[in-house]
Amino acid sequence: MNEESLAATACAIVTPGKGILAADESNPTMAKRLAQIGQESTATKRRDFRQALFETAGLEQYIAGVILFEETLEQVTEDGRRLSGILESKGIIPGIKVDKGAHPMEHSPAEKLTKGLDGLAARCVNYRASGARFAKWRAVIAIGDGIPTDDCIQANAGALARYARICQEANLVPIVEPEVLMDGAHSIETCYDVSVRTFRIVFDALKREGVGLRGMLLKPNMVVSGKDCAEQADAETVAALTLKCLKASVPAEVPGMVFLSGGQSELEATRNLNAINSQGTYPWALSFSFGRALQHSALHAWNGDNGNIAAAQAALLHRAAMSSKASLGRYSPEMEKPA
Mean pLDDT of 163-168: 98
List the end-to-end C-alpha distance of the chain, in Å, as a whole number.
48
pTM of whole model > 0.85? yes
Of 18, 90, 219, 325, which residue is the catalytic one?
219
- The Cα 138–Cα 141 span in angstroms is 10
222-236 pLDDT, tens digit each: 999 999 999 999 999
- pLDDT for 296: 94
Q: What percent of the chain has pLDDT over 70?
A: 99
Compute CA distances 74 → 100, 101, 208, whole Å.
17, 20, 34
Structural domains counted in the chain: 1
25-53 pLDDT, tens digit each: 999 999 999 999 999 999 999 999 999 99
- pLDDT for 338: 59
| More confident of the two residues 338 and 162 | 162
Q: Is 336 a catalytic residue?
A: no
Q: For helices 150-169 and 188-209, what crossing angle results, to 10°? A: 50
pLDDT above 50 for 175: yes
- pLDDT for 280: 84
**Residue in 218, 194, 319 with CA at minimum distance from that of residue 268:** 319
Q: Is 177 a catalytic residue?
A: yes
- The Cα 65–Cα 21 span in angstroms is 6
pLDDT above 50 for 190: yes
How crowded is residue 247: how many other Cβ atoms within 10 Å of its Cβ? 12
Mean pLDDT of 151-179: 98
pLDDT above 70 for 11: yes
Mean pLDDT of 140-147: 97
56-74 pLDDT, tens digit each: 999 999 999 999 999 999 9
Structural domain that includes position 50: 3-336
- pLDDT for 212: 98
Sign of torsion over alpha carbons 297, 303, 304, 306: negative
Of 111, 177, 179, 268, which residue is the catalytic one?
177
287-298 pLDDT, tens digit each: 999 999 999 999
CATH classification at residue 182: 3.20.20.70
- Listed in sequence order, the residues at least 6 apart from 147 whose beta carbon sits closer than 8 Å to its beta carbon are 108, 110, 111
- Listed in sequence order, the residues at least 6 apart from 16 whose beta carbon sits closer than 8 Å to its beta carbon are 285, 327, 328
- pLDDT for 339: 44
